[in-house]
Amino acid sequence: MNRIEKSFTILKENNKKAFIPYIMAGDGGLEGLVNQLSLLERFGATAIEIGVPFSDPVADGPTIQRAGLRALVNGTTLRGIFAELEKAREIISIPIILMTYLNPIYSYGIEEFVGDIRKVGVDGCIIPDLPIEEEDIITSQLEEAQVELIRLVTLTTPLERIRTISSKGRGFLYTVTVKGITGARNEYDANLHQFLKTVKEVSSIPVMAGFGISTKDQITDLTKHCDGVIVGSKIVDLFEQNRLSEMEELMSSFKQETKMV
């Protein structure tokens, strides 16, 4: 049982929901990454999803694309990210989840990539352009390293495929709440609540809702039907604009008494 499983076990025991913020590594400078992670843990994050900047981010909306470009301009690399995460693990106890695309992993080398994320204390990996039919290229290495592959389902994923995908992991199921890319939304698909309820019924692991979530009202609404939320563009914006008190307010109800070890 790695940190992700332990976190959700603690949440379930305390009847709490999860809040996972997303940040782009290197946005604002890699030297600030450890402080950002520490701040998010203090504000109440259950885990933290860290994006790796990439020149062709097919799942990312404008806010995260701009953050990725800023990070690339700052010279952010995977090796640089790993060096900062190794420092962060000395003070961060909650799970760290790395979000990246296949191309950077191939360029780095799959074996070396998995070995290094284990070394620096990464607990999970999200690879949005890796379909389950092709994930054997990396799953055995991740399993050996005790790093969870976090899989995604969408509003258009057939029910049987959702069952198959959820049966493959032990972390959580990333449930995409919109048809399209990331970015804040004012309203959601009329069938979203029923979709989340259905996914929750068939999934053998916790269900997290992500994409387009940016307000407390949206969080309150969606967490009635799943195990928690993933918030990206809003967190990226708040960091860029240094609106940290607003970030703390958004996350305050998720603060946990129990810290991970």
- Distance CA(106)–CA(174), nearest Å, equals 23
The span from the CA of 227 to the CA of 223, in Å, is: 6
| Average pLDDT score over the chain | 92
DSSP codes, 156-185? TS-HHHHHHHHTT-SS-EEEE-SSSS-S--
Pick 3-249's CATH classification: 3.30.70.360, 3.20.20.100, 1.20.1560.10, 3.20.20.70. 3.20.20.70
Q: What is the pLDDT of residues 100-134, one digit of tens each?
A: 999 999 999 999 999 999 999 999 999 999 999 99
What distance in Å separates the CA atoms of residue 146 and residue 165, rounded to the nearest whole number? Answer: 18
How far is it, in rounded angstroms, from Cα 68 to Cα 56? 10
- What is the spatial order of strands in the sheet that 124-126 belongs to? 148-150, 124-126, 96-99, 48-51, 18-24, 228-231, 207-210, 173-176, 152-153
Given a cut of 70, whether residue 185 has pLDDT beyond it is no
Give strand ranges (E) for 33-138: 48-51, 96-99, 124-126
pLDDT band at 64 (very low <50, low <70, confident <90, very high): very high
pLDDT in tens, 207-245: 999 998 989 999 999 999 999 999 999 999 999 999 999
Please determine, for residue 183, whether its predicted confidence score (pLDDT) is greater than 50. Answer: no
Q: How many CB atoms lie within 10 A of CB 111?
A: 10
Number of H helices, E strands in the chain: 12, 9
Question: Does residue 258 have a pLDDT over 60?
Answer: no
Q: Is the pLDDT of residue 53 over 90?
A: yes
- Lowest mean pLDDT across 10-19, 173-182, 233-242: 173-182
For the segment 42-58, the average pLDDT, to the nearest whole number, is 92
Report whether pLDDT(261) > 50: no
Q: How far is it, in rounded angstroms, from Cα 47 to Cα 4?
A: 8
Q: What are the catalytic residues?
A: 49, 60
> pLDDT, tens digit, for every residue of 26-45?
999 999 999 999 999 999 99
Tokens of 8: 């959700």
Q: Averaged over 170-183, what is the pLDDT?
A: 78
**CA angle centred on 64, ends 41 and 40, rounded to 5°:** 5
Distances from the Cα of 236 to the Cαs of 31, 108, 154, 206, 255, in angstroms? 16, 26, 23, 25, 20
CA distance 108 to 215: 37
